[in-house]
């Protein structure tokens, strides 16, 4: 088999079975370079056996323990306590793995997890209520309703770029729905993975929630089990492998992927606020964010006005030397550093461009004179390099976006309501934001998910509860009257009567 270690995406390493056809995986030269490094391996480690773990979770689920609403609330409260009581430990782990500052770790990781858990806990009574639906005359006397029930055992495969939030948020949603959960943290964020392995059993019910650390053999072994749902966050080509494995057990999947999220800046936008918000969104986590603005589309005059504002805001946020800033992170590993560094040559560097391989540091970088066929435009950048691509007007920008895969997110900066409406009508994406970036993540009731190559399914707030629930349809009939019209023998008289009431 081939080892599919795709570090430019943010999922786990998974073995790539030779008999799985995944079609066109990626168009980038960087990806082709990685593929050339994959080697056929006859001596892969023996996969562990998780059958006992799975059997134990099955027995626990069938006991009904996780269905109890008080149990669910206690677990969600435990998630909140874990984020508070272990906050310093999480901050240290994230600093070790990604160079994140304490404030960035709080705002994008721990507080996000705790607020999601708290929101679900407070809404649990409402979400779990039966929902009455009308019963037609042919079903009378009778009542009909929909009641949510837990699926069973959920596998959550976390990601390395936000290794706390993108692992525990999915876990919390699955718990809220009443499931047992197995979480697989990313091995590419080892400090965070070790911490999750340690603290999750200390705070959550160890009979119902399991943490499995590991690399290729562990992930492969997990994917062979007949889970009731799999949530995977990562890149498109590994998602195909997850789907292929899930298909063998008819396991439904939710895929949170990525893509090149465009950022259109029209001339009428408030450019001062636009630049500030783009710089924050692009360079948070050193650009390693699936919903970060991937590239800017704007006209030449607006570009000329925007560039000094981008520089000013980079200086304001990270200082003259961002490498010395506690607010600026690092690349996750050497391979990711090398891949992103190579993309800088795709255009004219007007801001940044400095790199330090020993520190896995890439400065906040802006490129101009970028062509549509340049390497930096062939894949999700997933790093602190921001290309600016010329688009003469909104129609031109929309055309460029629509020629590409549907992105996970799309951003528009404008004061023109008609332009806004046109953009939202014509650009298909998982999530959209007007006059800001990434802030839809703060709204619990907005489903988060992609479309097409950027993902499948969604979660967050109520949508997360519904994703990990089965909405069971129920009808209850009365005993009387029991009209003979529906029973054989079928006569012309009965037929005429049925036509009338239909």
331-380 pLDDT, tens per residue? 999 999 999 999 999 999 999 999 999 999 999 999 999 998 999 999 99
86 is a domain residue: yes
What is the rounded CA–CA span in Å between residue 410 and residue 407?
Answer: 7
Q: Do 201 and 283 belong together in one domain?
A: no
* CATH number of the domain where residue 342 is located: 3.40.309.10
Range 186-204 average pLDDT: 98
At residue 26, the pLDDT reads 39
Compute the Cα dihedral for 340, 344, 350, 355 and give only its sign. positive
Residues 170 and 303 placed together within one structural domain of the fold? no
Do 280 and 301 belong to one domain?
yes
The answer to whether residue 18 is domain-embedded is no
Per-residue pLDDT tens over the stretch 137-173: 888 999 999 999 999 999 999 999 999 999 999 999 9
Give the pLDDT score at 35. 34
Mean pLDDT score across all residues of the chain: 91
Does residue 492 lie within any of the structural domains? no
Query: Using one digit for the tens of pLDDT, what is the confidence trace for 18-38?
Result: 333 333 333 333 333 333 333
Active site members: 256, 290
pLDDT over threshold 70, residue 102: yes
In the prediction, which pLDDT does 11 show?
Answer: 58
Residue 430 · residue 449 · CB < 8 Å? yes
Domain assignment present for residue 437? The answer is yes
Q: At what angle do helices 69-85 and 87-98 cross, to 10 degrees?
A: 60
Give SS3 for 126.
Answer: helix
Same domain? For 380 and 352 the reply is: yes
Residues 165 and 73 placed together within one structural domain of the fold: yes
Its pTM surpasses 0.85: yes
- Same domain? For 249 and 289 the reply is no
How far from 379 is each of 10, 15, 241, 290, 383, CA to CA, in Å? 13, 22, 19, 12, 11
Tell me, what CATH number does 55's domain have?
Answer: 3.40.605.10
CA distance 12 to 21: 19
Residue 432 sits in which domain range?
Answer: 262-444
Same domain flag for 84 and 219? yes
Q: Is 43 within the bounds of a domain?
A: no
Residues 355 and 460 in one domain: no
Residues 208 and 112 in one domain: yes
Distances (CA, A) of 323 to 318, 332, 341, 361: 8, 15, 15, 7
Tell whether the model's pLDDT for residue 13 goes beyond 70. Answer: no
Beta bridge partners of 367: 349, 387
Alpha carbons 338 and 355: distance in angstroms, whole number? 10
- Check residue 314 and give its pLDDT: 98
| CA 424/CA 428 separation, integer angstroms | 8
* 8 Å CB contact between 186 and 261: no
Strands, E, within 310-468: which ranges?
348-351, 355-356, 361-362, 365-368, 385-390, 409-413, 431-434, 455-456
Say yes or no to pLDDT of 1 above 60. Answer: no
Query: Are residue 238 and residue 368 in the same domain, yes or no?
Result: no
pLDDT digits (tens, 9 = 90+) for 456-501: 999 999 999 999 999 999 999 999 988 888 899 999 999 998 888 7
Q: Which residues lie closer than 8 Å to 426 by C-beta, 6 or more apart?
A: 398, 402
Going 10 to 405 to 280 to 440, the CA torsion angle's sign is: negative
Q: How many domains does the chain have?
A: 2
Cβ atoms of 315 and 324 within 8 Å: the answer is: no
- In a domain, residue 4? The reply is no
Q: How confident is the model at residue 44 (pLDDT cuts 50, 70, 90)?
A: low
Contact status, residue 289 vs residue 439, Cβ threshold 8 Å: no
Closest of 368, 391, 371 to residue 299, by C-alpha: 391
Is the residue at 410 inside a domain?
A: yes
- According to DSSP, the residues that pair with 292 across neighbouring strands are none
Say if 135 falls within a structural domain.
yes
Among residues 60, 183, 8, the alpha carbon closest in space to that of 113 is found at: 183
Please state the rounded mean pLDDT for residues 100-110.
97
pLDDT of residue 196: 98
Q: Do the beta carbons of residue 163 and residue 105 sit within 8 Å?
A: no
Beta bridge partners of 253: 230
User: Within this chain, do residues 211 and 331 fall inside the same structural domain, yes or no?
Assistant: no
298-311 pLDDT, tens per residue?
A: 999 999 999 999 99
Instruction: Tell me the per-residue pLDDT of 266-314, one tens digit each, with 9 for 90 and over.
Output: 999 999 999 999 999 999 999 999 999 999 999 999 999 999 999 999 9
What the block records as the tokens of 458 is 């969604």
87 token code pair = 């906050």
Are 178 and 318 members of one domain? no
> Is 94's pLDDT higher than 70?
yes
């Amino acid at each position: 088999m081939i080892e599919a270690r795709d570090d430019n995406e943010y999922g786990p390493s998974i073995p790539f079975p030779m008999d799985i056809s995944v079609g066109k995986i990626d168009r980038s030269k960087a990806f082709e370079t990685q593929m050339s490094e994959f080697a056929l391996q006859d001596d892969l480690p023996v996969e562990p056996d998780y059958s006992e773990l799975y059997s134990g979770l099955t027995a626990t689920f069938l006991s009904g323990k996780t269905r109890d609403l008080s149990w669910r609330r206690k677990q969600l409260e435990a998630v909140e306590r874990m984020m508070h009581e272990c906050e310093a430990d999480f901050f240290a782990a994230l600093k070790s793995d990604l160079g994140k500052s304490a404030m960035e770790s709080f705002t994008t990781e721990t507080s996000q997890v705790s607020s999601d858990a708290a929101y679900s806990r407070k809404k649990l009574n409402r979400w779990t209520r039966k929902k009455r639906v009308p019963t037609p005359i042919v079903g009378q006397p009778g009542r009909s309703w929909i009641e949510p029930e837990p699926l069973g055992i959920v596998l959550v495969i976390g990601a390395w770029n936000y290794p706390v939030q993108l692992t525990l948020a999915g876990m919390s949603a699955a718990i809220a729905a009443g499931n047992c959960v197995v979480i697989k943290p990313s091995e590419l964020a080892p400090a965070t993975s070790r911490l999750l392995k340690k603290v999750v059993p200390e705070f959550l019910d160890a009979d119902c929630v399991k943490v499995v650390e590991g690399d290729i053999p562990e992930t492969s072994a997990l994917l062979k089990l007949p889970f009731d749902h799999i949530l995977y966050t990562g890149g498109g080509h590994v998602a195909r492998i997850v789907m292929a494995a899930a298909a063998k057990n008819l396991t439904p999947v939710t895929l949170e992927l990525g893509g090149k999220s465009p950022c259109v800046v029209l001339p009428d936008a408030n450019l001062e606020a636009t630049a500030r918000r783009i710089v924050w969104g692009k360079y948070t986590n050193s650009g390693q964010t699936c919903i970060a603005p991937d590239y800017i589309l704007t006209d030449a005059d607006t570009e000329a006005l925007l560039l000094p504002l981008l520089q000013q805001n980079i200086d304001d946020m990270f200082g003259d030397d961002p490498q010395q800033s506690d607010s600026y992170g690092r690349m996750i590993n050497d391979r990711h550093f090398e891949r992103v560094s190579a993309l800088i040559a795709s255009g004219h560097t007007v801001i940044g461009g400095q790199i330090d391989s020993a520190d896995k540091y890439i400065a906040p970088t802006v490129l101009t004179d970028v062509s549509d066929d340049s390497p930096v435009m062939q894949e999700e950048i997933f790093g602190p390099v921001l290309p600016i691509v010329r688009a003469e007007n909104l129609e031109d920008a929309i055309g460029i976006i629509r020629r590409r895969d549907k992105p996970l997110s799309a951003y528009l900066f404008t004061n023109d309501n008609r332009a806004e409406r046109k953009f939202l009508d014509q650009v298909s994406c998982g999530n959209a934001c007007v006059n800001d970036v990434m802030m839809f993540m703060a709204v619990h009731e907005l489903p988060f998910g992609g479309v097409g190559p950027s993902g499948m399914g969604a979660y967050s707030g109520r949508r997360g509860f519904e994703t990990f629930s089965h909405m069971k349809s129920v009808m209850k009939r009365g005993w009387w009257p029991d009209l003979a019209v529906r029973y054989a023998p079928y006569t012309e008289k009965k037929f005429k009567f049925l036509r009338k009431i239909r």
